[in-house]
Amino acid sequence: MRLDKYLKVSRLIKRRTVANEACDAGRVMINGKPAKASAAVKAGDVLEIQFGTRTIRAEILNVQETVKKEAAQEMYRLL
């Protein structure tokens, strides 16, 4: 799955366009490397997302195309 779509589906970032902008600005990393919005993600990858001065680290647990709002937090684990 594409990184920007995963961020939207998992609700780490609310909109896909915002996820694209964050990736273009270099604020999203996969396993310590800057990632483009089109990068493929898989279970086991570690994401780092910078929101201003705050950084969120999350491990991807599973990848699904669609998920309900209540189950979105089961897609990742905060580190």
Cα–Cα dist 22/77, whole Å: 20
Global confidence as pTM: 0.90
pLDDT band at 52 (very low <50, low <70, confident <90, very high): confident
Structure tokens at 44: 């086991």
pLDDT band at 77 (very low <50, low <70, confident <90, very high): very high
What is the mean pLDDT of the segment spanning 10-14? 93
**In this model, does residue 39 exceed pLDDT 90?**
yes
Sign of the torsion angle spanned by Cα atoms 69, 65, 73, 38: negative
Q: Is 13 exposed, middle or buried (0-12, 13-18, 19+ CB in 10 A)?
A: buried
